[in-house]
Structure 1
Amino acid sequence: MNVVIYPYSIEHSYIKKYKKLFRYNIIYFMCYGNILPISHQNDNDDYCTFTDLVDGKISFDDFDTFCIIDKVPDENELYKIVEFVCSNGKNIICVEEEYLDQIEKICKRYNVKLLQCNYETIEIPEKKWNYDSEIIGIDIPVVAVMGIGQNVQKFDLQLYLRSRFIDKGYKVSQIGTKKISGLFGLHPLPDFLFNTQYSDVDKVYAFNRVMKDVSMQEKPDVILLGA
């Protein structure tokens, strides 16, 4: 599947850097607000803007799916772009759930597909523990990437480690910190970790069971965990 990534900015440079790990073939990185990166003149010709698409400087024949990978400042502008893309027969992927209802309506109007993106790939384990239960041991290495703040390139490091382990021939299971994780073959962090209905103790027990399930079902050589 050939895709255009939108909205692309310097904050999303990890996508370009680890393009080979992405599930689909990225043809263009479409920048938000018609602003190209400063470095674009030194890079390959794979940056574009919405204006380039409207003006025919890039061809609709080059791709079949438009992939929305993050939030945008102007929601109405996004829907305008989606409408234009769908009217030209292109399918949509969107990792931001809050846009899905409106985008689904647009896709139906033009008889194109809103393709499934796995927002939640890990099921909440059935509660079979109490506060005296033991933490279940995991018999394979777990490498955690953690940070104390935002914008510290945790996801970049997660993809770097994934790339290195795979290149060395290891089978990797991975839980990532971004909604886009599924498009790199990672499990997104499960939603129950951010749900106030669950106590912190329950979250610890549940996540321990999640990690054990991943190790048993996928049988990796290593688990990479973003947190």
Structure 2
Amino acid sequence: MNKEKVIIYPVDSEYLPFLKYSNLFEDTEITGCYAPKGWFYVNKKIQVSNDRVITIQDINECKDISTFDALWVVNSNGDIDFETTILPIIQQAAKENKAIRITRSLTNEEYKMCSEVCEQYGSLLSNEEKTYISSDSTPRILNINTPVVFVFGIFEHTDKLDTLLYLHGGAKKAGYRVKTILSRKNETDIRDFISFPDFMYDRRYSDTEKILYFNHFLRRMELDHKPDIILIGLPGEIMPLDDKHNGNFGVIPYLVSNAVHCDYAVLKLFHNFYDSVFAEKLQEICRNKFEIDINAFAVSNNMIDAASISTSTLKFYTSDKKPVALDENYYFNHINGVGESLCDHLILTLQNLGKYRMV
């Protein structure tokens, strides 16, 4: 079956993890990546799956639109004006009867403008999937029989998504049926990926309701799809850094850890905060706050500028340098200090729990 050829826009660091693991995409072939003129990533070469290299191009250079089937509008970190920078690109593609796929967060008014453009030119418009709350109002926690894996971080910018995609691909390659709840929106065509549920951010619901809804959501997914393993990426942080930088006070991990028991947990650390004494303190925090034992610490490529913690704006840098003195419980690029992979450790741990079938 021929894959749908798509171009991705606007691309920056927000979308790079999906490009890195684009070999997981089922029905899509990424033929080009674009960004607005002047953005940092324009003309940058990035390595994607299977050692391919893609150059992110200026969107103004996208002249021959006959080379793709669909325009995919995604989320980005950079500020961008919708009407002047996104809508004209959608209009250009719609005129040529290209499909428009939107996983970018839009206001109702912005989405209405997209719909009107596509309707005008007869172009197909598709939006992100919606996660619905279960109609089951049973006020109790239901048992989840499938092994559940958490990937969460000490704070934001710890590359949780990268580890989630890695574990998903590794477990699937090993022969397991995997369902993964991403730590953000699902911006792929992978049916086994699910966006983190919107209702967990909805202020109309109490924390108690969110715990119950998330638990019932997982149970329904378990019954419908019968996975061998469920991966869950937890947005946010496990705790505030200080009074200025508190994130959301670790609320999401707290709610999710009350909704479902975790069988294996990976905690992502900053590249410059990974020593064993510090990690032991984090292990104690996770036990006391979430009743979770950390099975593996994964060191991110991202470094936090410690000096910026005392300021109003945090600064982050990246490093590809392998941390020194990694032991068997610490993983960098998903390999620990003795050369073992994080995915192998995950599968072996679950098998030893007696809940997991051998393949």
Task: Compute the TM-score of the two structures, normalised by the length of structure 1.
Answer: 0.86
Determine the C-alpha separation between the residues in 2 that align with 1:140 and 1:183: 24
In structure 2, the residue matched to 1:63 is 68
The answer to whether the aligner puts 1:22 opposite 2:25 as a matched pair is: yes
**Are the equivalent residues in 2 in contact too, given 1:34–1:50 (CA < 8 A)?**
no
Take 1:62 and 1:154, find their aligned partners in 2: how far apart are those partners?
A: 33
SS at structure 2 position matched to 1:33: coil
Deviation at 1:88, TM superposition (A): 2.4
What is the percentage of aligned positions where both structures have the same residue?
Answer: 25
Change in 2 beyond 3 A, CA 1:151/1:142: same
Runs (5+) with no aligned partner, structure 1: none
Q: 1:207 aligns with which of 208, 214, 225?
A: 214
2:37 partner letter = G
Distance in 2 (CA, whole Å) between partners of 1:34 and 1:88 is 26
Q: Is contact 1:15–1:22 with CA below 8 Å preserved after alignment?
A: no
| Residue of structure 2 in register with 1:109 after alignment | 120
Shift of 1:48: 2.4
Q: 1:141-156 residue pairs with structure 2 within 5 A?
A: 141-156=147-162
Paired with 2:127 and 2:207, the residues of 1 have a C-alpha distance of: 31
More helix by proportion, 1 or 2?
A: 1
Partner Cα distance (1:223, 1:162) in 2: 9
Contact 1:10 1:37 in 2 (8 A): no
Q: Distance in 2 between matches of 1:136 and 1:89?
A: 47
For 2:154 and 2:222, how far apart are their aligned partners in 1?
A: 27
1:208-223 correspondence runs (5 A): 208-223=215-230
1:182–1:195: structure 2 CA closer, same or farther, 3 Å change rule? farther
Gaps of 5+ in 2: 235-359
Question: Relative contact order: is structure 1 or structure 2 higher (C-alpha 8 Å, sep ≥ 6)?
Answer: 1
Aligned length: 218
Q: How does 1:115-130 map to 2 (within 5 A)?
A: 115-118=126-129, 120=130, 122-130=131-139
Q: How does 1:168-183 map to 2 (within 5 A)?
A: 168-181=174-187, 183=189
- Letter paired with 2:57: C
Pick from 187, 192, 195 the counterpart of residue 188 of structure 1.
195
Corresponding residue of 2:257: none
Q: Distance in 2 between matches of 1:224 and 1:159?
A: 10
- How far apart are residue 172 of structure 1 and its match? 0.4
User: In structure 1, which of residues 151, 161, 165 is the aligned counterpart of residue 167 of structure 2?
Assistant: 161
Which amino acid is 2:166 matched to? Answer: Y
Q: String of CA shifts for 1:133-152, please: whole Å, max 9, x gaps.
A: 3x222112100111243222
Cα deviation, residue 40, structure 1: 5.3
Q: How do 1:89-100 residues align onto structure 2 when only pairs under 5 Å count?
A: 89-95=97-103, 96-98=105-107, 99-100=110-111
Query: What does residue 90 of structure 2 align with?
Result: 82
Structure-2 change in CA distance of 1:127 and 1:213 (3 Å): closer
Instruction: Specify the code of the residue in structure 1 equivalent to 2:133.
Output: I
For residues 10 and 203 of structure 1, the distance between their equivalents in structure 2, rounded to whole angstroms, comes to 30
C-alpha contact 2:182 2:195 (8 A) present in aligned 1: yes
| SS of alignment partner, residue 144 of structure 1 | strand
Alpha carbons of structure 1 residues 168 and 85: separation in structure 2 relative to 1, 3 Å: same
Instruction: Tell me the alpha carbon deviations over residues 116-161 of structure 1, each in whole angstroms, 9 at most, x when there is no partner.
Output: 431x1x321225333xx3x222112100111243222111111111
Larger Rg: 2
Distance 1:45 1:226, change over 3 A: closer
SS at match of 2:9: strand
CA contact (8 A) 1:158 1:226 kept: yes
Counterparts of 1:171 and 1:150 in 2: how far apart (Å)?
29
Aligned-residue CA RMSD (Å)? 2.3
Alignment-mate amino acid for residue 160 of structure 2: K
Q: Residue 53 of structure 1 corresponds to which residue in structure 2? A: 62
Local SS of the residue matching 2:10: strand
Name the TM-score, length of structure 2 as normaliser.
0.56
